[in-house]
A and B are shown apart, each in its own frame.
Chain A
Amino acid sequence: MEIGAVIAGLFTLAILTFLYRDNPVYKMAESLLIGVSIGYVLVITWSSTLVDLLFEPLFAQGALSLTLPLLLGLMMFSRFHHRMSFLSRIPIAVMIGSGAGVAIPAMLEQRTLKQMSATVMPLLTTSGRPDPAAIVILAGVLTTLCYFYFSREHKGMLGVAAKIGTYFLMIFFGTTFGYTVMSRMSTFIGRMEFLLTDFLRLTG
């Protein structure tokens, strides 16, 4: 039996012991997982970003313009010094500002306007009959948006629309729950297949 499969199987069973209750075996496995995960992220970040985008171009190829991001990155570590910790706000400001700037057109165009335009569809088919799908979609979007409008009390027409919006939301949550159950079961089925096939060798 392959040693990797044995190790993986034992760790899998260690994690599954949590189903009975929290215990030292599970805690030890979990602690090891946390340490290995963080070590993995450090290695991947170092090799794929810091070496690739910064150290090699700056020190091996002489791209002096990269001195600025190097300085900004080093400023992040000023957080460990009480008096100098204010410096760490500047690289954070660069990241936050850049993120906010690129988000505005993306959110406006892709998430809002395109979704709104996709909602506005012909409500009658070419034969003149009502299209139930288009009507349901339009009604669903409008009433759900009414539910999320909290600037006025949900009374009268707004209250009725918000109530209908609630029902649409419940359909969405129920559908999502069904798919989530599917997804979680799939993950466990995958682990069970590993245990039966690679670890215990009961199936082929």
Chain B
Amino acid sequence: MRLQTRHWVFASLFVLIAVVMASGIRLSVPVSPETQRMYDFIDSLPAGAVVLLSFDHEASSLPEIQPITRALLRHCFEHDLRPVGLALLAEGTAIGYRLMQTTAREYGKEYGIDYAYLGFKPQYVAAILSMGESISATFPQDYLGRPYDSLALLHGVENYDDVAAVLSIADGSFTTHWMEYGGRYGVPVIAGVTAAMVTTYDPYLASGQMQAMVGGLRGAAEYEKLLGRKGGGGARGMLAQSAAHLYVILLIILGNVAYFIKRRRSA
């Protein structure tokens, strides 16, 4: 078994994260203005408003996206909003369904009255534009095969005019499509995204095309703090994340020190 430098780097990271996670220490993080903006936006929506929740992500980003989604869903239910879930990516379908179900159960919410799940439609551009004309024509049945009209929550919800906001949970560029194609209908767009996508959406946040955004595990930890929930998925990972960041910073410094020493020797 021959170990190379990269194996030692991998092993050190593995052990570091394992030890820190096993310690069970939870860090409290200050709330950023960005996360506060999302919280205030959802708080400003009237009770009973319908919010479209679009699960535009794959299973690969689940560990990061799940805490964000849970926190936002909990806020929606606490504020008596009525989330209607859908997915523009096939994998988001099952994830969204389970997340909405398990979170709704915490608040005693009833399917079809307090929340609903419409399922998946392919070709995201066509789906977004089609819902602008008619959500019932786009989703004649929900994920479980019940007719759209049979769900009490969806009575009178015909298109984006009847929806308070679209909350896009994304690990890629799908939120961009909501703004670009849904923007035609003027529906407010908010997003919960992975940290890697945060800088992608900054221009939209600055221009007002996106009303609010929460990003990454840290965003989830901040949101959990605002909701007054301890021990959420976001908060549990904060110390490990800090440790991982310091580890990467150390690696960068060590790598550059070695580079400059080598350069000086060869000069």
Determine if B217 and A106 form an interchain contact, defined as CB atoms under 8 angstroms apart: no
Prevailing SS type, chain B contact patch: helix
Q: Is B73 an interface residue (CB 8 A)?
A: no
Determine if A186 and B241 form an interchain contact, defined as CB atoms under 8 angstroms apart: yes
What separation, in Å, do the CA atoms of A19 and B1 have in the docked complex?
13
Q: Is A67 an interface residue (CB 8 A)?
A: no
Encoded as 1 (CB less than 8 Å from any A CB) or 0, chain B from 190 to 211 comes to 0000111111100100111100
Encoded as 1 (CB less than 8 Å from any B CB) or 0, chain A from 177 to 204 comes to 0011111111111111110100000111
Encoded as 1 (CB less than 8 Å from any A CB) or 0, chain B from 210 to 240 comes to 0000011110000000000000010011001
Interface size class of A (residues with CB under 8 A): 35 or more
Determine if A191 and B218 form an interchain contact, defined as CB atoms under 8 angstroms apart: no
In the complex, how many angstroms separate the beta carbon of A19 from the nearest chain B beta carbon?
A: 5
Determine if A40 and B91 form an interchain contact, defined as CB atoms under 8 angstroms apart: yes
The interface residues of chain A lying within 8 Å CB-to-CB of B200 are 176
What separation, in Å, do the CA atoms of A48 and B119 have in the docked complex?
7
| Interface core residue of B21, B125, B143, B245 (most chain A CB under 10 Å) | B21
Q: Is B93 an interface residue (CB 8 A)?
A: yes
What separation, in Å, do the CA atoms of A149 and B241 have in the docked complex?
40
The interface residues of chain B lying within 8 Å CB-to-CB of A175 are 199
Q: Is B22 an interface residue (CB 8 A)?
A: yes
Interface size class of B (residues with CB under 8 A): 35 or more
Determine if B93 and A183 form an interchain contact, defined as CB atoms under 8 angstroms apart: no
Determine if B91 and A181 form an interchain contact, defined as CB atoms under 8 angstroms apart: no
The interface residues of chain A lying within 8 Å CB-to-CB of B139 are 52
Contact of B17 among A49, A99, A109, A189 (CB under 8 A): A189
Known: A111-B180, A189-B237, A203-B22. 13 other contacts (CB 8 A): A44-B119, A48-B121, A49-B120, A106-B180, A179-B215, A181-B245, A186-B194, A187-B63, A189-B244, A190-B62, A190-B217, A192-B240, A194-B63
A sample of 30 cross-chain residue pairs with beta-carbon separation below 8 angstroms, ordered by A number, consists of A20-B1, A37-B91, A45-B122, A52-B119, A53-B140, A102-B129, A106-B181, A109-B184, A110-B179, A111-B180, A114-B207, A115-B203, A176-B196, A179-B199, A179-B216, A181-B245, A182-B195, A183-B61, A185-B17, A185-B244, A186-B64, A186-B217, A189-B237, A189-B240, A190-B237, A191-B63, A192-B17, A196-B22, A202-B22, A203-B22
